[in-house]
Structure 1
Amino acid sequence: MAASDDAPPKVDLKRLHRELYSPPRGRFVEVDVPPLTYLAVDGEGDPNTAASYREAVETLFGLSYAVKFASKRRLGRDYVVGPLEGLWTADDPRAFVRRDKDAWRWTMLVLQPDWADDDLVADVTSTVRTTKDLPALDLVERRTITEGRSVQTLHVGSYDDETPVLAELHDVYLPEHGLTFGGPHHEIYLGDPRRVDPARLRTVLRQPVRPAG
């Protein structure tokens, strides 16, 4: 059945913020990231082995799709659920270059539309709690994050092959431009590692920055 001509278009949040989700490959560019709202879960440890990481991702997508369907049903506003994103920190930032994953702390994220407000998310969460087994549901927060001035690039390949790109960013680009870290390292996963060859994975690597000194 064809969609009604007067049905509101489905919003693609990546296209709505195209400059944030489609940086060039092979060079760094600066962007100004506005306040954006996400569903978020905090955790720590190696994402390849930590059960808490798998539970966080499962829960974020389960709840995000429930919010999407509620938005369409109740508000008449449909949208494409965003990709998985992550904020990454460590006591020593070089832990990322060394790929010392046990030392990583993370906040996994899924972008939400502005109209999916606290009340809608809370109501959907209450419903989901009685209908689905989402192991990290009690840890989910609706959180607005403001990154502001940031440097980003597109990495194509395995996550473990990010090291040279991050080293160039940390050791070359930032010092040459008089910049330093202004917030957690941010990654946006545009491919599903369960379905895409690691050599073809596309990841936005973003670093919020501020003037050094």
Structure 2
Amino acid sequence: MTKADLKREITTYAAPRGRFQLVVVAPARYLALDGRGDPNSAPAYRDALATLYPVAYRLKLASKTVLDRDYGVMPLEALWWADDLDTFTSARDKSRWHWRLLNLVPAWLTAVHVAAAQDVVARTGHAPAIADLRLEPLDEGLVVQTLHVGPYDEEGPVLAAMHEHVTAEGYALTGRHHEVYLSDPRRTAPARLRTILRQPVTRG
């Protein structure tokens, strides 16, 4: 059985470091959970992670054993937003952040497969946000993205520069700030964390 490497197959899961790239992101579907607050301390964020990963791996198992199609579970992703953009770029007031955690679902898996995986995971009793998990479509279209290497708390200046670049090139921000976490923070030193920073845009 061949194991699909979707992170390689979907070209937008790579971004250049040190410059901003304009690309079109194809529509996709994700496991999704919403919440608010500092991801370092908010119980809702911890509960979302404890729910998202078991369902993602259950889906992978079902794909491999039932459909004979194996794949690597995709990286954690998140949409972030706030009433005041400065909370991302300068103030970095995480208590005011809203977030939507995401994990990409391969195109060949259906809502029926997702519901079955949720049901199995729910019966374990170890997925505190399982009732709120859903399959969410996302069609971002045109985006500007870059690769940030380093601690999450050092993203602010990069985001500010990205926003300035977008305006200077005649585009406008639209949609929500999107991050793709290519590194596992449990196993990677902060200085080596690799994160794609993505911002949907439209021609101004």
Q: TM-score, normalised by structure 2?
A: 0.97
Note the 1:52-71 alignment, pairs <5 A: 52-71=44-63
Match of 1:199 in 2: 191
Q: Say whether residues 1:118 and 2:114 are aligned partners.
A: no
Match of 2:33 among 30, 41, 58: 41
Give deviations 1:33-79, integer Å, cap 9, x for gaps.
11011100010110011011011012111100001101111111111
User: Separation in 2 of the partners of 1:211 and 1:61?
Assistant: 36
Report the aligned-residue RMSD: 0.9
Match of 2:157 among 146, 158, 164: 164
Secondary structure of 2:51's counterpart equals helix
Give deviations 1:110-131, integer Å, cap 9, x for gaps.
1110111101111121122113
Larger radius of gyration: 1
Query: 1:199 is matched by which residue type in structure 2?
Result: A
Q: CA deviation at 1:192?
A: 1.1
Assess if the C-alpha contact under 8 Å between 2:50 and 2:126 holds in 1. Answer: no
Secondary structure of 2:155's counterpart equals helix
Match of 1:89 in 2: 81
Secondary structure of 1:52's counterpart equals helix
The percentage of aligned residue pairs carrying the same residue is 50
User: Separation in 2 of the partners of 1:201 and 1:123?
Assistant: 34
Q: CA deviation at 1:132?
A: 4.4
Secondary structure of 2:135's counterpart equals strand
Note the 1:1-213 alignment, pairs <5 A: 7=1, 9-18=2-11, 20-97=12-89, 98-170=91-163, 172-212=164-204
User: Separation in 2 of the partners of 1:192 and 1:56?
Assistant: 16
Runs of 4+ in 1 over 3 A off after TM superposition: none
Q: How many residues align?
A: 203
Secondary structure of 1:131's counterpart equals coil
Q: TM-score, normalised by structure 1?
A: 0.93
User: Separation in 2 of the partners of 1:193 and 1:127?
Assistant: 27
User: Separation in 1 of the partners of 2:79 and 2:201?
Assistant: 14
User: Separation in 1 of the partners of 2:6 and 2:136?
Assistant: 16
Instruction: Name structure 1 gaps, 5 residues minimum.
Output: 1-6
User: Separation in 1 of the partners of 2:111 and 2:189?
Assistant: 37
Secondary structure of 2:56's counterpart equals helix
Give deviations 1:5-34, integer Å, cap 9, x for gaps.
xx3x1111111112x111110000001011
Secondary structure of 2:123's counterpart equals helix
